[in-house]
Each structure stands twice: as structure tokens, then as C-alpha cells.
Amino acid sequence: MTDEIVVIEGDGIGREVVPAAVDVLESLDVDFEFVAAEAGDATRDATGEALPDETYDLVADADATLFGAAGETAADVILPLREAVDSFVNVRPAKAFPSVDALRPETDVVFLRENTEGVYSGHEDRLSEGLSTLTRVVTSSASRELAEYACDFVEEGRGPAGNPDEGFTIAHKANVMRETDGRFRDEVAAVADERGVDADEELMDAFATKLPLDPGQYGVVVCPNLAGDVLSDLAAGLVGGLGLLPSANVGHDNGLFEPVHGTAPDIAGEGVANPTAAVLSAAMLLEYLGHVDEGQRVRDAVEGVLSDGPRTGDLGGSATTDEVTAAIVDRL
Ligand code: NAI
Ligand code: MG
């Protein structure tokens, strides 16, 4: 059966790295139909809307979406798109590659971040001049759904190789946010217990110190929305930068796959962006749609090129996006 993949390049280097990822997908033996859609700053300038209804509907009806990045309209685009694919978990692997300089080369961590609620659920109010509030939402159902996914994830061996004790770590701040993070921690721990999966816990502030000091002790980390956003970016800094990191917004029968980086206005238009993060996002898309072997082939090709070159400027090389992409496709 042909899977329909919506492709949204967005702004800036999204217009360079997403075509690279599509080139890689097109070089494989998979039956995909690509449908281009528009979103982002340029779309807003042209149409008045950063995320046209047509794009939202295409994404909601597709099998998966490959997204680049949007500029200042990022929140107007990405938050509704995560909702369009009904995403309940944001999967963010942070792995150092042997051939790339990294602050902490032993880092190999996957963050499973709650993707719908917490402090990102959009309930902010200005009560008066000088007083604003935010309502933090934590439901048992979303916490348990994330926990079930985390249990599947470790049981299926999708965590980092050598994941300590094959379980996961819950990062939270339930000592202060007793009701909301308390509920999150209790529900996730209860599901792990029911499923016979080892789950230990860390207070997220202490975790933010322990992770950079000794990343080797962590494998899969399960956390609330904001904590996952911040801690996974911290991990990105340990492994050598934004040009390398993919992510997946996983829903029930849909998903949106995107590099962690933004539009990189400082290099946009020069054709020198590192396509690795976008190509690895495409590998996650392949795996999500069941093309596990093809996903692994893409990972192997990327790793080969990272090790033997050519490399883009962010990794100390001088190759263009197209040269790196061609080298990946060549290996495939
Ligand atoms: P950024 O990720 O765009 O860039 C940060 C730094 O990393 C820059 O020096 C950039 O050149 C470099 N970089 C990023 N990706 C790279 C790649 N593939 N190859 C080589 N170098 C790379 O983050 P920044 O500068 O904070 O944000 C720029 C714009 O992107 C903002 O308008 C922001 O709103 C948007 N943004 C959008 C996101 C999304 O659509 N999901 C996520 C993050 C930022
Ligand atoms: Mg972020």
C-alpha cells in the first residue's frame, strides 16, 4: 500500500534540508506518495496565515509528515500540527556519533516527552495589569499513555544500545509540584510496575546536573512536556550540535517527523546546512511506518558519511548540503 507523506519545507534551511531528506527517501525501495504543503513565515506573508487550513487537513489525513522548520511563526505552526497528527509523545534521541566531536561522546539517551499538556497546554491568562497566570494540565490518561509507549519502547529494544537495566528514568519535580507532577510520576510508575518494567526517578533539576556529568548512566528518559523540551536540548549540546538531531511526534496512526533545529537564518540560502538531522528524521518516519530495515540502512549510510566525509561546515568540513546528500544516497 502506498503511504501518503506530506512534505512541509517551511522557512530558511528547511527549504534545503527537507528536499535532501526526500532525495534519500526516493532512493529507497519504498512506495511513498509525496504531497507538498506550505506553512511558516513565508506562507503567512503570502496568505496572511502561517498554517493554512489546507495544510492542517492534509497533515491530519496523511500517513506521516516530514517537516523542516518555521521561523518566528514556529509556535503557530508546530503546536497545531502536533495536534493534527494527534501526537501524544515526542521522541528525541540524542546520540553522539563516534566520528563527530562531542562534549560527552558516551551520550546515548532517548527522551520520551509528553507532547500535549503540562505547561504547554495553552491556558495562559492576563488577570490584570501586572499579573499573569498559567494553568498546568496533567491528566492520568495522557501520563499512562506515555508510560505504555515507554514500556513498549524499552521492551522492543528500541532504547539506546546498552540501555542500563533496560528500563527508564522518570524525570519530574513532584517534590514541589505535588499535585501535577505527583500525578505524572505516580501514573508512569504505576504503569511500569504493572508491566514489569524497571523505572527509577530523578528530580529534574538534579538530573540536569547529573546528565552532563555522567550521561552514560542514562538510557530512556520519560518526562513532562516542558522538562522534555529543555532537558533534550541540554542533551543536544552534549552530542555535537543541532545539525545532527532528529525527532518524531508520534500519534496513534499518524506522525510528524522533524529536525530539532530551526531555520538557521545565519546560513539559510547558502546551501551549506547539515542535512543529517532531517535525514535521520526521515529514518524515524520509515521506522514508524514499518520500514525498519530501510530506516537502519539510512542510519548506516549517514554514519558512514559522518565518519568518512564529506562534511558540512558545522562539523568542520566545507561540503555543501547537496554533496553530503549525494554521498548518503551513493551509499544507499
Ligand atoms: P536554529 O536551530 O535555527 O540555529 C541555531 C544555530 O545552529 C545557528 O547558528 C545555525 O546556523 C545552527 N544550525 C542549526 N541547524 C543547522 C544545520 N542543519 N546545519 C548547520 N548548522 C545548523 O535556532 P535559532 O537560531 O534559535 O532559531 C532560528 C529560527 O528558527 C527562529 O525564528 C526560531 O523561532 C525558529 N525555530 C523553529 C523551530 C521549528 O520550526 N521546529 C525550532 C527551533 C527554532
Ligand atoms: Mg525546543
pTM: predicted TM-score of the whole model, two decimal places: 0.94
CA 77 vs CA 39, 72, 126, 253: distances in Å: 7, 10, 23, 20
Active-site choice (11, 56, 63, 120) = 120
Task: List pLDDT tens digits, range 268-290.
Answer: 999 999 999 999 999 999 999 99
Whether 114 contacts 228, CB under 8 Å:
yes
Distance between Cα 75 and ligand 1 center (Å): 14
Compute the distance between CA of residue 329 and CA of residue 302 in angstroms, rounded to an integer: 9
Transcribe 247-285 into DSSP letters: EEEE-SS-EEEEESS---TTTTTTT----HHHHHHHHHH
In 3D, which of 308, 296, 321, 325 has the Cα closest to residue 99? Answer: 308
Does pLDDT of 29 surpass 80?
yes
Residue 233 bears catalytic tag: yes
Output 210 or 163, whichever has higher pLDDT: 210
- Protein residue closest via CA to atom 25 of ligand 1: 264
Of the listed ligands, the closest to the CA of 90 is 2
Q: Which tens digits make up the pLDDT trace of 74-118?
A: 989 998 999 999 999 999 999 998 888 899 999 999 999 999 899
- pLDDT 10s digits, 133-162: 999 999 999 999 999 999 999 998 888 876
Best mutation site among 16, 261, 314, 318 for ligand 1 pocket (most ligand atoms within 8 Å of CB): 261
